[in-house]
Structure 1
Amino acid sequence: MSSYTSPPATGRSSEPPIDQPYYGAPIGAAVKRFFAKYATFSGRASRSEYWWWTLVVIIVSIVLNVLSLALGGSGIGQGDTSSMTAGATVITVIASLWTLATIIPTLALAWRRLHDTNRSGAWYLLVLIPLIGSIILIVWFASAAKPEGQRFDR
């Protein structure tokens, strides 16, 4: 198992193979790899791959909520939907489709991120424990890669 590549001290000149984590990935590469590994639960994901995608999700959610509010809605997932305007309804449908399209790959990315820290992806089920589970997962997602995590590579 000598194929482990530790995170580089400086930038890389080329992108690693898709089945390996991309340490120090720029946002574009992280998003591209997210969709390329759409439902891949095996392997590993670097911190940068995970956190860039998390930032994209947060930005998209904020934009959709602002658009919904600007078009007369009450925000995505908020309040009474019976009085929403047509524009706000369209934004809500787009937000729902976005969520459906990205939920499985987001779970797969979290699973692979846990693998990079040498933990089974099943630890993601800690999210079911209110507050404490999420805090533990955030700490693990932010932790450094461990060489032992390569056991999850195929």
Structure 2
Amino acid sequence: MFEALKSQVEKILSQEENVDTRLQLVCDLLREGVNYYDWVGFYFRNGDKEELKLGPYAGEPTDHTIIPFGKGICGQVAVSNENFVVPDVAAQDNYIACSITVKSEIVIPLLKNGENIGQIDIDSNTPDPFSEEDERFLEFVNEKVAQIL
């Protein structure tokens, strides 16, 4: 599944559309292509502020358009620069609930020239669906995205 999606991601990102359009198409592809990716979105550092701002996403609308560094899973990844896989969001103290249906989350930092400029965030309504394969795939997506930013 992920191998087929990789070539589709590369194809989308190589198009001439503007960056936000391409990122939206990637979000749509991942949400449709992986049955347990229920919400897929990009957050980016908001200028010089110590916060993340929501970029293109696919899924239910969210109130969390700005996330301070250190707050929630996304905010923690903005500080740690490390992948964060949450098999059960209910077991996390520092979790910002987007929806009562979300059971698990994976956040992968988006690095450009070694600097954390954002992240891809995926919520799942399935408990503990994410594997190392998801991590490697999403790292690949972020590497490709970084090339167009």
State the TM-score bracket (shorter-chain normalisation): under 0.3
Q: Whose RCO is larger (CA < 8 A, sep 6+)?
A: 1
TM-score (norm 1): 0.25
Q: Structure 2-normalised TM-score?
A: 0.26
Structure that is richer in helix per residue: 1
Larger strand proportion, structure 1 or 2? Answer: 2
